Structure 1
Amino acid sequence: MAAEKFPVQVACRVVGVSESGYYERLKRPPSERAVRHAWLTDLITQVHAESRGTYGSRRVHAELTLGRGVAVGHNQVELVMHRAGLQGATGRPKWKRIKPDNIATDLVERDFARGGPNQLWVTDITEHSTREGKVYCCVVLDTYSRRVVGWSIDASPTAALVTNALGMAIDTPLGRTTAGGTVIHSDQGVQFASWAFTDRAKASGLVPSMGSVGDCYDNSMIESFWSRMQVELLDRKKWKTRVELANAIFDYLEIWHNRKRRHSQLGWLSPIEYERNRIITVA
């Protein structure tokens, strides 16, 4: 305990020995146990070095007992290695993804109300199973009218999935005026933090924004959209193929949701009707 920097007076009181006895012990020659520990330390250090620093206590113990015929217990090997600061390789290193600073800020702060189109877009990915496998869908939604301005469907949730949906929203303004400064808000998924998505957004004059990790309320509007789509389409039947489900999603987004579905927050108008009525009113 004293060797591990505990106060001698406290250590002696804990183990029930006198301080004078402790200091008298220091004057004596090393015991057989101390000599053996020193010898084991040198031997274990050598075995550990020969393993290129990869062996833990179990493999060091196996090398000592099976390879070198040393009678030693596993607990003693573990103790000596701990005191010598030796440990084995513990699996693959865990690399942390660097979060780009320019999209880490939440510019929305749960306020999705906007007075005109192309001021705030929200985006996210959902998935659903078929007998062939999963289908992934990314949607870009304009919070002004709840209109789906971009979407993409694929068999895997890659950066291309979200970039294609964003590209559709940018390249096809659907008769609306696309101005710079539109905020594109997402969660902190790896797809939205990818270089391809970020570069496409910046090159088009969009301003990336991200909510906090694991908080659905930071992107609640698109979460609500997915919930309605789940009830009204995805969970209503068992889908056989990816193509069948992809066609159904296309019909839901472009034909039903944008053109026909009446939304309570839009005065019971569809997104396209709402935009047209606002344009006529302003004119």
Structure 2
Amino acid sequence: MARKNYTDEFRQRAVDLYESTPGATLKAIAADLGISRGALKEWVDKLGSGTAAAGSVSPPVSVRSESQAARIIRLEAELAVSRAEQVKLETERDILRQAAKYFAGGDELVNRFQFVEDHKDAYGVKRLCEVIEIARSSFYAWLAAAPGRAARAADDARLAARIRVLQDPAQGGDRAYGAPRITADLNDGVPAAGRVNHKRVARVMREHALAGIRLRRRVKTTIPDQSGRKFPDLIGRDFSTGEPNRRYVGDITYLPIADGSNLYLATCIDLGSRKLAGWQVADHMRTELVEGALRGAHRDRGSLAGAVFHSDHGSVYASKAYAALCEQLKVTQSMGAVGTSADNSLAESFNAALKRELLQGASAFPDQATAYRAVFRWTNRYNTRRRHSAIGQITPNSYENTYAAARSATLTEAA
């Protein structure tokens, strides 16, 4: 559910994010953070330095593969040169040589038809069909359907343009979005008759080189404490969604900095709604790091009494200080088996997604301030804008609002 009270640190971080983001607008940043535009403007007027970043140039559109028309022109030019050099060229051998270039990939039958279309003036349809072994009636049927194919290609191009907008951060998009989330965005609020199929979205993204960002190689950061306290596994790899504020998972990941240092991020994720309820960044992995994430979740929820928090056997989670905090907040600890990452895979997947999408192939953040700013925006956007397949391709905040409304309606009916 949306925040009603904001800490001074949150307000200052929001202002810093707005002023340091090239081309940012109050509306876009406010939407990412789940706050009103008016609130952000008030904070900027009061706390800002007046040095907002200059507008940025939108990233270039993905380079498309060589067009079919360009390929045809290139092949016909090669054929013309070949005829000029070899007056008595053996026709059948020349046809097969040129046809082989069409059969290298894709739909072979369609490529054969296209080859005949491209070379019918030079050799004649009958001769070409005989050499490459297709029926003339099939070729003419394919040719008659050309207007329909052109219309579909134009529709695909328009769809690709819409997808680029949804992946463009400058327009509120997300480069990491793949076909499932893109499909959900495209169909959001659209009547059933106007919706686009996820298979078509996947095909268009593949054909137009619009794939989402891939996972980076995972680096292990857990430091097991064999002498620390042990707690039973109360989750049992059951990461299903449901009632919010009942079950949480958390983990620590490192954020590499260009100067060789690291920052560390601790998380507290609600399994019920997938909301990132609490997080903390520090330049160390002491117990205070994970305590900060749990306290953040407590502030967000108002109370964690009766909730379960699941983690690995890292030394900070097994420490007496962390156990004391859990007891104070009435939180029951849960731990997976030692050395078994699958027992906490949801938290680890969250860490992988964050670093994949923020680093985008880079080996490190340029400096600690940039890293913190990027994490601040990403973690807030995660709750306010990011769609999750586990909760029906809606945001965690939307899920919790819907859940609360449904629960209220049920209680009203029962009364």
Paired amino acid for 1:99: G
CA contact (8 A) 1:152 1:162 kept: yes
CA distance in 2, matches of 1:191, 1:200: 12
CA contact (8 A) 2:273 2:399 kept: yes
2:287 aligns with 159
CA distance in 1, matches of 2:318, 2:245: 21
CA distance in 2, matches of 1:114, 1:178: 20
CA distance in 1, matches of 2:395, 2:319: 33
CA distance in 2, matches of 1:228, 1:281: 31
Deviations 1:237-282 (A, max 9, x none): 441111110110111001x211001111111101101111122233
CA contact (8 A) 2:241 2:274 kept: no
Deviation at 1:97, TM superposition (A): 4.7
Specify which of 354, 358, 367 is matched with residue 229 of structure 1. 354
| Number of aligned residues | 182
Structure (1 or 2) with the larger CA radius of gyration: 1
CA contact (8 A) 2:228 2:319 kept: no
CA distance in 2, matches of 1:235, 1:216: 24
CA contact (8 A) 1:124 1:222 kept: yes
Specify which of 300, 303, 313 is matched with residue 172 of structure 1. 300
CA contact (8 A) 2:298 2:304 kept: no
CA distance in 2, matches of 1:130, 1:157: 15
CA distance in 2, matches of 1:141, 1:207: 15
SS of alignment partner, residue 248 of structure 2: strand
Specify which of 80, 98, 104 is matched with residue 227 of structure 2. 98
CA contact (8 A) 2:304 2:329 kept: no
1:116 aligns with 2:222: no
CA distance in 1, matches of 2:336, 2:271: 16
Distance 1:193 1:179, change over 3 A: closer
Considering fraction of residues, name the structure with more helix.
2
Paired amino acid for 1:117: P
1:245 aligns with 2:371: yes
Paired amino acid for 2:278: G
CA contact (8 A) 2:303 2:329 kept: no
CA contact (8 A) 1:130 1:242 kept: yes
CA distance in 2, matches of 1:186, 1:196: 15
Deviation at 1:217, TM superposition (A): 0.7
Distance 1:211 1:264, change over 3 A: same
CA contact (8 A) 2:308 2:334 kept: yes
1:147 aligns with 275
Paired amino acid for 1:251: R
Paired amino acid for 2:253: T
Deviations 1:198-236 (A, max 9, x none): 110111110001111111110111112112112211344
2:331 aligns with 206
SS of alignment partner, residue 309 of structure 2: strand
Q: Which runs of 5+ in 1 are unaligned?
A: 1-95
2:382 aligns with 257
TM superposition score normalised by structure 2 = 0.42
Paired amino acid for 1:203: Q
CA distance in 2, matches of 1:115, 1:267: 12
Paired amino acid for 1:242: Q
Paired amino acid for 1:216: S
2:156 aligns with none
Deviations 1:172-210 (A, max 9, x none): 31xxx6352200100000010112211101111100011
1:134 aligns with 262
CA contact (8 A) 1:134 1:155 kept: yes
Considering fraction of residues, name the structure with more strand.
1
CA distance in 2, matches of 1:123, 1:98: 21
Question: Following TM superposition, where does structure 1 have runs of at least 4 consecutive aligned residues deviating by more than 4 angstroms?
Answer: none
Paired amino acid for 2:235: V
TM superposition score normalised by structure 1 = 0.61
